[in-house]
Amino acid sequence: MAVMEQTLKDLHGAGEHRKPLEYTHGGSVNILGFWLFLATDLMVFATLFATYLILKTHTDGGPTAAGIFDIPGYVAETFILLTSSFTCGLATYSMRKNAKAAALTWLAITMALGLAFVGLEASEFAKDVADGATMQRSAFLSAFYTLVGTHGAHVSLGILWMASLFFQIARRGFDAVRARKLFVVGLYWHFLDIVWVFIFTVVYTMGVR
Amino acid sequence: MANSAVSQSTNLEPQFHEEAFPWKHIIGYVLSLVLTGAALWCALGYHLRGSALIVTILAMAVLQIVVQLFLFMHLTESDGTRAHVWTICLGFFFTFVVVAGTIWIMSFGSQVA
């Protein structure tokens, strides 16, 4: 109930001087809604992880996890994504200090790192497919490409989302709505980092051992 | 006029105990690098094996979640906090049930067969 009361207060713009801009003018409702979305998106990945863990030994005599996973490649992807999560956090931090140029710079760096991540992943997939490790080859490979590819699609969408926000903020600066949009895309990006940490651990690192 | 007054009063100011220097983010970044490096050291350096390895690197992944949620995602600040915490805790609980339950049921079936 306290949450609802506070939400109503927010909608009427009360008490905003004590809160970050993104929580004001009803923004806290949007932010709560986005946490709900993240919880449901987590369910999507839960089912894909469960499927992968059951099917990872079903290689049908074809390529195995230890056979196709490229250690320097996935380690580089991991450090790139961890760094991008940090720079995305700095974009939110700069936004809260009303430092528009700094926020845009960190946002641009985050997008560049995201593109590097997606590029590395795409080249890894292309190389695997060229070596005969296609999605149709075995249940293991179907589950692998579905899980890791769904994460990669999320990251790609995040880059497009950040790009549109970059131009909005560059043209019009921060207000309650654009502050909330930047905060929410940040939540999305950190969430994808969490999912990747589990792909790194459960799929790749356990796969090569 | 009223509109411009509102936008004036809501200019972004460091009104929410925002640090002068982003120490929280830097600490979070260093922790995530250390945890990742440690997991790689255990696994690729063959310092642990079997279930000890799995438990250790999974524990490091869980610590990475804690770093992201508390140091980067501002989970525990502002008003909706309790709802945010319950929402994401429920999400992680369902994730655990789906993954662990699937492994349990499917491996039980293969033992019977």
What tens digit of pLDDT does each residue of A17-50 get?
A: 567 888 888 888 899 999 999 999 999 999 999 9
- The whole-number average pLDDT for the span A83-107 is 95
So what's the pLDDT on residue A1? 55
| pLDDT at res. A28 | 84
Residue B20 pLDDT > 90, yes or no? no
Q: Do A50 and B103 touch (CB under 8 A)?
A: yes
Q: Please check whether residue B61 lies inside any domain of the structure.
A: yes
Please indicate, yes or no, if residue B15 is contained in any of the structural domains: no
The answer to whether residue B11 sits within a structural domain is no
Q: Of B87, B94, B102, which is closest to A54 when you measure between CB atoms? A: B102
Q: Cβ contact (<8 Å) for B95 and A176?
A: no
Residues of A with Cβ-Cβ distance to B34 under 8 angstroms: none
Two tokens, residue A22: 């993104």
Domain ranges of chain A: 44-208
pLDDT, mean of residues B31-52: 94
Instruction: Please state, in angstroms and rounded to a whole number, the distance separating the CA atoms of residues B13 and A174.
Output: 11
Assess whether B62 and B86 both reside in one domain: no
Judge whether A19 is closer than 8 Å to chain B, CB to CB.
yes
Residue-number span of the structural domain to which B93 is assigned: 79-113
Span B32-53, mean pLDDT?
Answer: 94
Q: Is residue B2 domain-resident?
A: no
- Residues A29, A35, A39, A41, CA torsion sign: positive
Residues of chain B with Cβ-Cβ distance to A17 below 8 Å are: 9, 15
Higher pLDDT, A102 or A5: A102
Interface A:B, Cβ pairs < 8 A: 176
Per DSSP, the residues of chain A read -HHHHHHHHHHTTTTGGGS-GGGTTTHHHHHHHHHHHHHHHHHHHHHHHHHHHHHTT--TTS--HHHH--HHHHHHHHHHHHHHHHHHHHHHHHHHTT-HHHHHHHHHHHHHHHHHHHHHHHHHHHHHHHTT--TTT-HHHHHHHHHHHHHHHHHHHHHHHHHHHHHHHHHH---HHHHHHHHHHHHHHHHHHHHHHHIIIIIIIHHH-
Higher pLDDT, A72 or A27: A72
Which of B31, B79, B82, B108 to substitute to test the interface with A, most A CBs within 10 Å?
B79
User: Within a domain: residue B7?
Assistant: no
Q: What are phi and psi of A63, to 5 degrees?
A: -60, 145
Do B63 and B42 belong to one domain? yes
Please state the rounded mean pLDDT for residues A91-99.
92
Please indicate, yes or no, if residue B60 is contained in any of the structural domains: yes
Number of domains composing chain B: 2
- Residue B1 domain-assigned? no
Confidence of residue B111 (pLDDT cuts 50, 70, 90): low
Contacts of A86 in chain B (CB under 8 A): 25, 28-29, 32, 72
Region A44-208: CATH code: 1.20.120.80
Query: What's the mean per-residue pLDDT of chain B?
Result: 82
How close does chain A come to B113, measured CA to CA in Å?
15
The mean-pLDDT minimum among A4-13, A107-116, B19-28 falls in A4-13
Q: Is residue B8 part of a domain?
A: no
